Amino acid sequence: MPSTINLLKLLADPTRLRLLLLLEQEELSVAELQQILGMGQSRISSHLAQLKRAGVVDDRRAGKNVYYGANKAAGKNGARGRMQEMIEILARDIPETARDRTALKLALRKRQDKAREYFDELAGKFGRSYVPGRSWKALSHALISLVPRLTIVDLGAGEGTLSQLLARNARKVIAVDNSPKMVEFGSKLAREHGFSNLEYRLGDLEDPPVAKESVDLVILSQALHHAIKPERAIQSAHRILKKNGRIVVLDLLSHNFEKARELYADRWLGFSEVRLLELLEQGGFRDVDVSVVSREKQNPHFQTLFATGVK
């Protein structure tokens, strides 16, 4: 354990302090730390080396991976307790601390979710070889038919293609969009197709014209990146959901395709997994799960995030 003066010098760097805060909670690999902190491998490895030389961090090898963790055996006669207290005091001045906690939670969930690896592999194989009658369109129709009889709100519904698919089995579907022409066109389609349980409403996804605690499921499908304030859209979804109701968000992973603002009227260039997780948890949702579910082959290789949470 370094002296108090040397420890203070060591922790004067915000990155090393953030690293130590994370490693006090969990053993992590360099790759996981890169994901959590959003930093390059060489920068993180350099700081880890300094923490290891000081004796406050240990590493262990597990197969091909090396995991780093706080050296909890270091220090005697209360020295470790004083170090932890010092870390906690200094951490109050680090604005990234709350975000790091959320990113750590996401990283650990990914580590534990072995099934996700299987489905990622499966998704990569689906459609590579031709099988008569098999398509994503057919599969989506089959899965939607299994949706129970719920009251559903589709926020930012557009003309409501998804709403019309859901209306085949739902108790009621409310499609909300801020474009009068979209609402008019969707309403016309609903009448033509005989959907008496599908209602189009003109309104904003940040303040939808839906009664408080009146619906079972809220869907935001490629709509959240159009919101001026995405946090308000999430909070509004929470407001209109019944207790134990669920939110489902499909949106783009963060990207740098600036033309999307002009081409598609996007206000936000997607969201990181951590940011979407934060939005849902700060909006009052529990049991939140966020994952990347697809990647387009064509440039700019948009990736799709799927997120869900329970009120």
Q: Report helix angle 97-112 to 30-37, nearest 10.
A: 130
The set of residues, in sequence order, having a beta carbon less than 8 Å from that of 244 and lying 6+ positions away, is 310, 311
The tokens describing 282, both together, are 């700060």
What is residue 133's three-state secondary structure?
Answer: coil
44 near 10, Cβ under 8 Å?
no
Long-range contacts of 39-42, Cβ-Cβ distance < 8 Å, separation of 24 or more: 39/15
Q: What single-letter amino acid sits at 239? A: R
pLDDT of amino acid 106: 87
β strands within the chain, DSSP E: 28-29, 57-62, 65-70, 151-155, 172-177, 198-202, 215-221, 241-252, 286-295, 303-310
Of the candidates 113, 114, 134, the residue with the CA atom closest to the CA atom of residue 125: 134
Q: Is 150 exposed, middle or buried (0-12, 13-18, 19+ CB in 10 A)?
A: middle
pLDDT of amino acid 256: 94
Q: Residue 88 phi/psi, 5° resolution?
A: -65, -40
Give the CA distances from residue 131 to residues 121, 127, 135, 142, 159, in Å, rounded to whole numbers and listed in that order. 18, 8, 8, 17, 31
Task: pLDDT tens for the chain, 311 residues: list them.
Answer: 566 677 778 778 889 989 999 998 899 999 999 999 999 999 999 999 999 988 889 999 887 889 999 887 765 545 566 677 777 777 788 888 889 989 998 888 877 665 456 555 555 555 555 556 655 566 666 777 777 899 999 999 988 888 998 998 899 999 999 999 999 999 999 999 899 999 999 999 999 999 999 999 999 999 999 999 999 999 999 999 999 999 999 999 999 999 999 999 899 999 999 999 999 999 999 999 999 888 888 899 999 999 999 99
218 near 237, Cβ under 8 Å?
yes
Q: Is 255 exposed, middle or buried (0-12, 13-18, 19+ CB in 10 A)?
A: middle
pLDDT of amino acid 309: 96
Structural domains of the chain, ranges and CATH numbers in brackets: 4-104 (1.10.10.10), 114-310 (3.40.50.150)
What is residue 272's three-state secondary structure?
Answer: coil
pLDDT of amino acid 80: 65
